[in-house]
Amino acid sequence: MSNKQSNAIVQRNRLALAYLELADDELFSALPEEEKLATIREVLKSGDEIADQVIDEFKSNDPRKIAGLLGIRIFGDEKKGLVRSEYRRATKEIAISRLFHDKLRRQVHVPELSERLLKIVVSHELFHYFELERFGEVYRKFRFKSWEVGPFASHKQIKGLSEVAAQAFTQTLLGIELTPEVFDYMLMASFLAKKS
């Protein structure tokens, strides 16, 4: 496979994952296709740029090391209602559902990926730290017309855009190329998160 073909697969999978993340959002679904694509590309770029800044600042792409330098505690949690993981701003913690992590480890059949699962989850939540503490929530930078009647219009935001930026941040921070195998993993992870 040529570099051009490989890059096309990576880009296609990044877009597909973004669309998957936003598939259940009615406002996003109602947008014209050109606006959907332009928005997703801009959001992915934001996630990539934040990751590049973090790598440059901390001289590392290890999310656990970066979290440690920031004083963020990472731990497994059995708390009811914790579906996957979350960044807890008030206590400066990343809590990871042990049940979710165990499910992923049992389901992933790609050895290289299995070893990186914790880093993937921590990276995702580390993005939310940077989003809240330094760069501003990505989704708040985009407003979309939800309805219009004569001179009156209502604009809303799509929170899922921050999740798309978190995906891009994670991919760039960890240097994950979205090959078909990684895409399958991400689909499965998304499916498990929604089932939990």
pLDDT in tens, the chain (196 residues): 677 777 787 788 889 889 988 989 999 999 999 999 999 999 999 999 999 999 999 999 999 999 999 999 998 888 777 878 899 999 999 998 888 877 777 777 666 666 678 888 899 999 999 999 999 999 999 999 888 888 898 999 999 999 999 999 999 999 887 655 555 555 556 555 555 4
Contact of 37 with 15, CB cutoff 8 Å: yes
pLDDT of res. 137: 96
Instruction: Kindly report each contact of residues 69-73 with a partner whose C-beta sits within 8 Å and lies 24 or more positions away, as own/partner.
Output: 70/129, 72/126, 72/129
User: pTM (2 decimals)?
Assistant: 0.85
Say whether 96 sits in a helix, a strand or coil.
strand
Distance CA 139, CA 32 (A): 18
**If you search the block for the tokens 């731990």, which residue do you land on?**
75
Contact of 153 with 147, CB cutoff 8 Å: yes
Distance CA 146, CA 139 (A): 15
pLDDT of res. 124: 93
Tell me the two tokens of residue 191: 């499916």
Tell me the two tokens of residue 107: 């389901």
